[in-house]
């Protein structure tokens, strides 16, 4: 049952998830299978079609959100019967678009089929075999070895591996210079809690990582911004801002910035370090996308030697955001202070998760996996930038790598939230630029994830905007 013909080519057929959904929709339309018929289990379907269970699970969830199948506890999935769908209402209803959904619920919301604005690789891109092997290894560890809280700095084996990996980028650090955290977001929070006090001033980029803005907001930090440029950052304006506002810290996303996709050029990085050194400003270098970037991209921590640079990174962009493991690299005095803050606000990070990540890095063919992700992203960028041009979007920068593209829609800035709501009602999650800018000003710029935006329905919707604006 449900032996479908699927192609591994994404160029014209869409993702494997798209293909599964389309194929089952076709079977329903032709009446091949009766309503109420059971679907194979996720594992059985994956095995019979030589697919990842993550791929099948996401496809089933999308079919359920569209009202085409129903999930019953203990009974798996079945094709929807006429009674299971409400003919007078749409089968899928969009969640309310508000700050709470965008900043929290969206990460767990599986009901939105097309996640064009999300910040992670698709489920069917994850290193499934490496993750499953790592979890099996961790499950066999005797209980007494993982019965405590773990070390405040995090698992030593993983810190040692990270230190060795950073030396590839000429970042000379030891195990004691690294503190493990629950993702990069916690790393940023620890820096803010440790080095800043309410009323202090910091510099961020415009646009910048949206969660950083929320961290600074709840800490009552004064934020000033400097425009991000295709070359990195506006150095002339940065110099003026630093002289006028005397910030304590500058937060910089070095390569493949979230959300613009831009990277610092060598000259921009050098100029940035000059200004920070002369004015005595700390730099927090958020380098989460380093392993997706082309070789030779500048690294501030390596150029400066971690004297006034605090380096943060993690594995959410390459392994999976579900494994909340990030880290801070800095001079040892600072690491000790960050560790005290970490223990005060949340105790230790998860040693079980850290052991799994360490196993993935050491035994899970991680380098081969990241090379494969880079290749897929290169192809996705080519498709998505072509679709953007056809739909009348203006692209800020074409990095041809990493997750993100920053593009201007053919709309008025004040219409951006209405457009986002309209897209959401059609099962498309867009990420409006206002959420990446201090003060959340209306903006016609949007963040797109190249890995999740190569979907025909998205571009049909966006082409309609160009027609409406005309």
Mean pLDDT across 317-344:
94
pLDDT for the residue 453: 95
pLDDT at 462: 94
CA distances for 22 relative to 15, 450, 452, angstroms: 11, 21, 17
Q: Specify the DSSP class assigned to residue 72.
A: E
Cα–Cα distance between 435 and 446 in angstroms, integer?
9
Instruction: Label residue 100 by pLDDT band (50, 70, 90).
Output: very low
Cβ contact 196:202 at 8 Å = yes
Name the nearest CA neighbour of 254 among 246, 245, 264.
264
Evaluate if residue 296 carries a pLDDT over 90. Answer: no
pLDDT digits (tens, 9 = 90+) for 426-452: 889 999 999 999 988 999 999 999 999
CA dist., res. 100 & res. 115, Å (int): 17
Burial class (CB in 10 A: 0-12, 13-18, 19+), 430: buried
Least confident of 34-48, 119-133, 175-189, 406-420: 34-48
pLDDT at 184 over 80: yes
Report yes or no: 407 and 395 within 8 Å, Cβ to Cβ: yes
The span from the CA of 410 to the CA of 398, in Å, is 18
Please state, rounded to an integer, the average pLDDT across all residues of the chain.
86
Q: Take residue 449 and report the two structure tokens written for it.
A: 């994830």
Residues contacting residue 328 through CB under 8 Å, at least 6 positions apart: 178, 179, 181, 187, 190, 191, 310, 311, 312, 335, 338
Instruction: Using a pLDDT cut of 70, give the percent of the chain over it.
Output: 86
- Domains, the chain, ordered by start: 10-84 (1.10.10.10), 99-125+368-469 (3.90.1150.10), 130-363 (3.40.640.10)
| Token pair belonging to 144 | 């007494």
Helix 351-363 vs helix 156-166: angle between axes, to the nearest 10 degrees? 40
What is the distance, to the nearest Å, from the Cα of residue 310 to the centroid of all Cα atoms in its chain?
21
Name which residue leads in pLDDT, 198 or 37. Answer: 198
374 vs 347: CA distance, rounded Å:
35
DSSP 263-277: ---HHHHHHHHHHHH
Question: What does the pLDDT look like over 217-247, one tens digit per residue?
Answer: 999 999 999 999 999 899 999 999 999 999 9
pLDDT, greater one: 97 or 20: 20
The side-by-side arrangement of strands in the sheet containing 309-314 is 178-181, 326-329, 309-314, 282-286, 249-253, 201-206, 222-229, 232-233
Residue 271: cis peptide before it, omega within 30 degrees of 0? no
Other Cβ atoms within 10 Å of 468 Cβ, number: 11
Joined together, the tokens standing for residue 402 give 């990493």
Q: Residue 144 pLDDT more than 80? A: no
Task: Please check the confidence at residue 107 and state whether its pLDDT lies above 90.
Answer: no
* Range with top average pLDDT, 74-83, 125-134, 141-150, 184-193: 184-193
- pLDDT score recorded for residue 468: 59
Q: Does 87 have pLDDT greater than 60?
A: no
Q: Report pLDDT for 54.
A: 74
Indicate if the pLDDT at residue 349 is higher than 60.
Answer: yes
pLDDT higher than 90, residue 173? yes
SS3 category, 115: coil
Statement: residue 467 has pLDDT above 70: no
Residue 5 has a pLDDT of 61
pLDDT at 9: 46
Q: Which pair of tokens denotes residue 423?
A: 């897209």
Please tell me the predicted confidence (pLDDT) of residue 92: 44
């Amino acid at each position: 049952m449900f032996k479908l013909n699927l192609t591994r080519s994404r160029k014209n057929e869409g993702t494997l998830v798209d293909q599964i959904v389309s194929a089952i929709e076709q079977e329903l339309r032709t009446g091949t299978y009766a309503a109420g018929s059971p679907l194979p289990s996720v594992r059985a379907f994956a095995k019979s079609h030589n697919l990842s269970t993550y791929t099948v699970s996401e496809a089933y969830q999308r079919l359920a959100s569209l009202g085409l199948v129903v999930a019953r506890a203990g009974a798996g999935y079945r094709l929807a019967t006429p009674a299971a769908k409400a003919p007078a209402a749409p089968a899928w209803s969009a969640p309310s678009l508000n700050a709470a959904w965008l900043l929290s619920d969206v990460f767990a919301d599986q009901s939105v089929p097309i996640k064009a604005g999300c910040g992670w690789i698709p489920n069917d891109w994850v290193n499934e075999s490496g993750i499953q092997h790592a979890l099996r290894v961790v499950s066999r560890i005797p209980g007494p070895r993982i019965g405590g809280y773990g070390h405040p700095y995090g698992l030593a084996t993983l810190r040692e591996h990270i230190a060795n990996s950073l030396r590839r980028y000429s970042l000379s650090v030891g195990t004691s210079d690294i503190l493990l955290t629950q993702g990069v977001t916690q790393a940023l929070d620890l820096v803010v809690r440790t080095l800043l006090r309410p009323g202090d001033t910091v510099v961020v980029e415009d646009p910048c990582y949206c969660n950083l803005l929320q961290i600074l907001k709840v800490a009552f930090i004064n934020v000033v911004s400097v425009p991000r440029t295709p070359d990195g950052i506006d150095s002339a304006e940065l110099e003026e801002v630093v002289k006028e506002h005397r910030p304590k810290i500058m937060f910089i996303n070095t390569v493949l910035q979230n959300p613009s996709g831009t990277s610092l050029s060598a000259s921009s990085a050098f100029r940035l370090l000059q200004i920070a050194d002369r004015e005595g400003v700390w730099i927090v270098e958020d380098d989460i996308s380093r392993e997706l970037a082309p070789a030779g991209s500048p690294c501030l921590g390596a150029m400066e030697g971690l004297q006034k640079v605090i380096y943060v990174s993690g594995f959410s962009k390459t392994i999976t955001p579900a494994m909340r493991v990030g880290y801070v690299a800095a001079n040892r005095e600072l690491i000790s202070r960050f560790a005290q803050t970490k223990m005060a606000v949340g105790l230790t990070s998860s040693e079980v998760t850290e052991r799994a990540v360490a196993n993935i890095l050491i035994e899970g063919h991680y380098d081969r996996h990241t090379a494969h992700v880079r290749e897929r992203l290169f192809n996705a960028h080519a498709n998505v930038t072509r679709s953007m041009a056809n739909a009348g979007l203006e692209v800020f920068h074409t990095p041809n790598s990493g997750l993100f593209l920053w593009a201007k829609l053919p709309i008025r800035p004040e219409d951006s939230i209405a457009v986002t709501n309209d897209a959401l009602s059609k099962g498309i999650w867009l990420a409006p630029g206002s959420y990446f800018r201090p003060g959340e000003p209306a903006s016609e710029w949007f963040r797109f994830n190249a890995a999740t935006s190569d979907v025909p329905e998205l571009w049909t919707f966006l082409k309609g905007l160009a027609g409406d604006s005309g």
